[in-house]
Amino acid sequence: MILIVTNERDLTSDYIVLELRHRDLRHVRLNTENLPHAQVHFRPQSGEQWIISFPNETIDLSTVRAGYLRRPGSPVISGNITGDAERRYCQSEWRELLAAALSSIGPRWLNSPLAILSAESKPSQLAAAFRLGFRIPDTVVTNSPEQLADFLREGTVIAKPLRMALLQDRDSERVIFTTRISSTIPIVGVNAAPLIIQREIAKEADIRVTVVGKVVFATEIQSQDYEETETDWRRGGHVELVYRAHELPREITEKCVCLVRKFGLRFGAIDLILDRKGLYWFLEINPNGQWAWIQNRTGQPIAQAIVNELEKICAS
């Protein structure tokens, strides 16, 4: 059986489910926000067997031959539990149980939870990419206004968060986009939290590279067509942006595969810059990046490649 761990609103997982159904492969989708509706049973004496029973479905994790940890949601606690402390307690316990249950899948993940956690460190990504021979922008991780000021004396820089790119409260959420900073912008609040500062690279285009095992899909994003998407193509939500399949040089393709493997992953979404001289620069790797939009826009068969890889895991 193939296990997909995600949430109800994850449209990307729908593509995997459709491909699995097309191949008539036995699978189950676990939307983890619904876990508190299940009865869970675990006995270490019985071969570490986890049983998760919903009203209409029972999942025996010992039968899982391959797993795709896509985008798990936080378990939603019953409204009958009203105290803040009690709700935090229940949330924490369900998260702990989920982590323990998923660890039982062992090496049968496309990307294991531990590998994803390790690979999400942007400083580690940059260091690993540099060791593999990628070009990386001149970078400093700091909360020092003085270091930022020194960088700015040499020209415009790009700033982005180390990890948390989403600010959420009860009523709203905001995305922290990659931002261009120049010497004309006052340096305020830099010492409040560390951030990544990089020398700006003049772009020809952004390149999203999706690696599945040894298969590589490169997508060119014409981000420079609009002022608001120049530094971060996600900003503005332009449906007019041009996306097209891109042919990478062989050496860059090989480096991308090596980087994914370096972090113990079978899947990785890598962001590169193609500069105006035709050179490629590494920015970051997302071990759980989105890809359905690429398949929609370019026709690249990423879902097929992922299911192929899951089948290889099943057969191993």
Residue 186 predicted with pLDDT over 90: no
- pLDDT of residue 265 exceeding 80, the answer is yes
Number of neighbouring beta carbons within 10 Å of residue 41: 13
166 pLDDT exceeds 60?
Answer: no
- Local confidence band at 169 (pLDDT 50, 70, 90 cut-offs): low
Task: List the chain domain ranges.
Answer: 2-109, 118-135+202-316, 138-200
Strand partners, 5: 30, 69
pTM attached to this predicted model: 0.90
Bigger pLDDT: 239 vs 163? 163
Specify the higher pLDDT residue, 242 or 209: 209
Q: Which of 68-77, 126-135, 192-201 has the lowest mean pLDDT?
A: 192-201
pLDDT of residue 94 exceeding 80, the answer is yes
**Encoded tokens for 218:** 């490169």
At 110-163, the pLDDT tens digits run: 999 999 999 999 999 999 999 999 999 999 888 888 888 888 888 788 888 887
Q: Write down the residue that tokens 């995997």 correspond to.
A: 16
| Residue-wise pLDDT tens digits, 208-233 | 999 999 999 999 998 888 777 877 77
Mean per-residue pLDDT for 95-116? 94
Edge-to-edge strand ranges of the sheet holding 179-181: 139-142, 195-199, 157-160, 179-181
SS3 283: strand
Q: Is the pLDDT reported for residue 293 higher than 70?
A: yes
Given a cut of 90, whether residue 167 has pLDDT beyond it is: no
Q: In the Cβ-directed half-sphere of 134, how many Cα atoms lie within 13 Å?
A: 29
Q: How much is the average pLDDT of 296-300?
A: 95
Cβ neighbors of 2 (< 8 A, separation 6 or more) are: 20, 25, 26, 27, 28, 64, 65, 66, 67, 68, 310, 314
Give residue 260's pLDDT band: very low, low, confident or very high (50, 70, 90). Answer: very high
pLDDT digits (tens, 9 = 90+) for 270-281: 999 999 999 999
Q: Report whether pLDDT(108) > 60.
A: yes
Under the banding of pLDDT at 50, 70 and 90, the label for residue 104 is: very high
Rounded to the nearest angstrom, the gap between the alpha carbon of residue 223 and the centroid of all alpha carbons in its chain is: 20
User: Do 64 and 41 touch, CB atoms closer than 8 A?
Assistant: no
* Cβ partners under 8 Å of residue 288, min gap 6: 69, 70, 71, 111, 116, 267, 269
If you classify domain 118-135+202-316 with CATH, what class do you get? alpha beta
Q: Is residue 214 within 8 Å of residue 258, measured between CB atoms?
A: no
Q: Is 156 helix (H, G, I), strand (E, B) or coil?
A: coil
Least confident of 122-131, 172-181, 202-211: 172-181
Q: Write down how long the chain is.
A: 316
Band (pLDDT 50/70/90 cuts) for residue 183 is low
How far, in Å, CA of 125 to CA of 3, rounded? 28
Biggest alpha carbon distance in the chain?
65
Q: Facing residues of 195 across strands?
A: 142
Q: Residue 56 gets which letter from DSSP?
A: T
- Is residue 269 within 8 A of residue 285, CB to CB? The reply is yes
Do the beta carbons of residue 282 and residue 124 sit within 8 Å?
Answer: no
SS (H, E, C) 184-213: CCCCCCHHHCCEEEEECCCEEEEEEEEEEC
pLDDT given at position 164: 61
Q: What average pLDDT does the structure give for the chain?
A: 89
- Interval 46-55: pLDDT, tens: 777 899 999 9
Q: Does pLDDT of 175 surpass 70?
A: no
249 burial class (0-12, 13-18, 19+ CB within 10 angstroms)? exposed
- The angle, 0 to 180 degrees and rounded to 10, between the axes of the packed helices 302-315 and 11-22 is 60
Whose tokens are 């370096």? That residue is 262
pLDDT recorded at residue 236 = 66
Amino acid at 153: R
